[in-house]
């Protein structure tokens, strides 16, 4: 009887002990924090962080099966990021269509390597070992970087990001119409067609209204510039005319000065000639009345004049002239005798 009574009591005690252990273990297990992911989500607001340091980025979509297969490998690669001295990020193309357009992502999953703002496309498998060797062995150095307009930081890719963001908003709006509101798909398409036509008409009307004013402003500015140029040219012409007038006046004054100097020289020469004639006349009066001596002098004077004239020719003719003068002198001497 005692053994039969102890059996149920023992089972009750065991059940109570198991319940107490389960009650104490349950809160402890619930208190354990979930393992935090080392992969940093990238958005349009913080993507510029990849411009500094070394990064690996993964572009994925939640509905993509290939992206889901590489999630565990990517998490393991991110855990070893501190050892590899690299940061690991991921981009949801559904939530960030503009960022996917900036990198021009057309296939999923897509991987990119960034080193100090220089981007390269990683085309290997998304396996941890391959990713680790890609960083440790610096295989990215043999890959051609995205330069020029292909670089995510370029102006061209910034415009591409805007286009992708607009398309993403249109896609979300289409899903809202068809899924949330239950509108037929063709009604959504008609709505977007009408919206496109209205937007085009609005932009055309805006250009039609504001373009003439801008053209008039441009024409007025051009006319003002042309007037300024004409005024400047007229001022230049006036200044050139004044300079020409001044130069002409200066030339006339110089000519007048030169004419005065020439007249003064001519007057001096005339005075010298008159003085010489007076001296000759005075000498002739001192010598007495004209006679034979005067005749001889008159005859001699032409000879002396001829000598003076004969001295001007070249030295080759001087001997002939001297002989002729001697002959004339001898003839005059014979006549005087």
Please state, in angstroms and rounded to a whole number, the distance separating the CA atoms of residues 198 and 76: 51
Q: Quote the tokens at residue 180.
A: 């949330």
Residue in 93, 90, 94, 100 with CA at minimum distance from that of residue 160: 100
CA-to-CA separations, 32 to 12, 26, 28, 76, 78, in angstroms, rounded: 31, 10, 7, 21, 22
CA atoms 13, 16, 18, 21: torsion sign:
negative
Distance, C-alpha 235 to centroid of its chain: 34
C-alpha torsion 213→217→218→220, nearest 10: 130
Half-sphere exposure of 313 (CA within 13 A, CB side): 12
Q: What kind and span of H or E run contains 182?
A: none
- The answer to whether residue 314 is catalytic is no
CB 108 within 8 Å of CB 66:
yes
Task: In whole angstroms, give the CA distance from residue 282 to residue 300.
Answer: 19
Q: Establish whether 6 is a catalytic residue.
A: no
Residues marked as catalytic: 64, 67
């Amino acid at each position: 009887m005692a053994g039969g009574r102890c059996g149920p009591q023992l089972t009750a005690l065991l059940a109570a002990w198991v319940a107490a252990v389960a009650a104490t273990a349950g809160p402890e297990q619930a208190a354990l924090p979930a393992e935090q992911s080392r992969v940093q989500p990238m958005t349009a607001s913080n993507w510029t962080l990849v411009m500094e340091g070394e990064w690996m980025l993964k572009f994925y979509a939640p509905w993509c099966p290939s992206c889901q297969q590489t999630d565990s490998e990517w998490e393991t690669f991110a855990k070893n990021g501190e050892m590899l001295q690299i940061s690991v990020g991921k981009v949801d193309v559904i939530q960030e269509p503009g960022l996917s357009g900036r990198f021009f992502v057309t296939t999923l999953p897509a991987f990119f390597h960034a080193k100090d703002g220089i981007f390269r496309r990683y085309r290997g498998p998304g396996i941890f070992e391959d990713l680790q060797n890609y960083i440790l062995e610096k295989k990215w150095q043999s890959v051609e970087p995205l330069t020029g307009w292909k670089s995510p930081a370029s102006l061209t890719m910034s415009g591409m990001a805007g286009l992708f963001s607009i398309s993403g908003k249109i896609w979300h709006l289409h899903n809202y119409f068809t899924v949330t509101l239950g509108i037929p798909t063709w009604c959504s398409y008609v709505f977007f067609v009408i919206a496109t036509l209205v937007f085009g008409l609005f932009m055309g009307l805006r250009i039609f209204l504001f373009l003439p004013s801008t053209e008039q402003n441009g024409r007025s500015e051009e006319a003002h510039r042309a007037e300024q140029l004409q005024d400047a040219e007229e001022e230049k012409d006036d200044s050139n005319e004044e300079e020409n007038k001044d130069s002409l006046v200066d030339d006339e004054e110089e000519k007048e000065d030169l004419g005065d100097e020439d007249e003064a020289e001519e007057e001096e020469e005339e005075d010298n000639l008159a003085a010489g004639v007076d001296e000759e006349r005075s000498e002739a009066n001192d010598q007495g009345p004209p006679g034979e001596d005067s005749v001889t002098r008159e005859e001699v004077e032409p000879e002396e004049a001829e000598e003076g004239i004969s001295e001007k020719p070249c030295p080759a003719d001087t001997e002939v002239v001297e002989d002729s003068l001697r002959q004339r002198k001898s003839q005059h001497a014979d006549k005087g005798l």
